[in-house]
Structure 1
């Protein structure tokens, strides 16, 4: 598992879908300021919707809630996570790691790429790539995360139809 800063993202991403999501996000921001949620129009990225999630930061202490969850993620997790808190949905093996990764993007206000490989207590081997992109509130502080997910061949996670990596087609 690792993350990369903005300068390394484009070359490090293996998923063509995540590259398109990064390009879309980048086209919506103003200079160094992340785009706002209102700048993101799902109609413009219909082929990516199944593999993305919008996560809102709320309260003090900060807690993260799924505001939108794509259909591929719904299927991977066996149910709808929309409206639920991230810490309630994740397995114990993933919870601390994922929350720390999300906190880093919220605090830094910059995108991050993570590759995650983990066996969970339910017998799944999770191997995926996640691009986490900040979305700003009216005052410019990061209040939401736009996450794109791509399966890297694990058991029990995303099986994105038509996914292509830089090395060719995925099964």
Structure 2
């Protein structure tokens, strides 16, 4: 890895991720990059979430479960559960995002682990039944100890967006995907 003196990385996170990305997501991105140890994707074991203790309440982790045929939530911070309106641990991705959005979200997550790539997104969305939230997210792949890329870890920063009740459908334009090989 080429070191330039800026956080030890060849390119600073704010040059890789979209302009205006919340600084907390830049911290998360750099913690993930530092765990890679020369690999395209770090192992779950090597990623230390305690490098970013202020983000733990916004962090979630899913594992691709071949038996369930879906991603299953292994953990979710308090702010994530609050935004969804209930605890999401042990729920499948389909149960969390709902049948309408599941095909788009599931295809994106498959691409995250299959390519592998990092995904950034920001939009207004109706998560719980009562509130419209502004969500800014960064999703990244993690590998199991055997090297199989089968986890998606993310930080979702939520804030109430107002009282508007209409929810927009998901579109590809809502996200930016960056192959790990280019980071």
Task: Bin the TM-score by the shorter chain.
Answer: 0.7 to 0.9
Query: Normalized per residue, which structure has more helix?
Result: 1
TM-score (norm. length: structure 1): 0.75
Residues 9 and 112 in structure 1, CA contact (< 8 A), matched pair in contact too = no
1:21 aligns with 2:28: yes
Q: How many residue pairs get matched?
A: 151
C-alpha RMSD over aligned residues:
2.7
Where does structure 2 lack aligned partners over 5 or more consecutive residues? 1-12, 164-183
> 2 CA distance for matches of 1:86 and 1:17?
24
> 2 CA distance for matches of 1:17 and 1:90?
24
> 1 CA distance for matches of 2:33 and 2:162?
32
Are the structure 2 counterparts of residues 118 and 76 from structure 1 closer, same or farther at C-alpha, using a change threshold of 3 Å? closer
**What is the deviation of 1:153?**
5.4
TM-score (norm. length: structure 2): 0.70
Where does structure 1 lack aligned partners over 5 or more consecutive residues? 1-5, 157-171
Corresponding residue of 2:112: 105
- Moved beyond 6 Å, runs of 4+: none
Q: Which has the higher contact order (CA 8 A, sep 6+)?
A: 1
**What is the deviation of 1:7?**
9.8
Q: Which has the larger radius of gyration?
A: 2
> 2 CA distance for matches of 1:48 and 1:121?
21
Are the structure 2 counterparts of residues 74 and 24 from structure 1 closer, same or farther at C-alpha, using a change threshold of 3 Å? same
**Cα deviation code 1:83-120 (max 9, x no counterpart):** 11111122344323322221110111121112233457
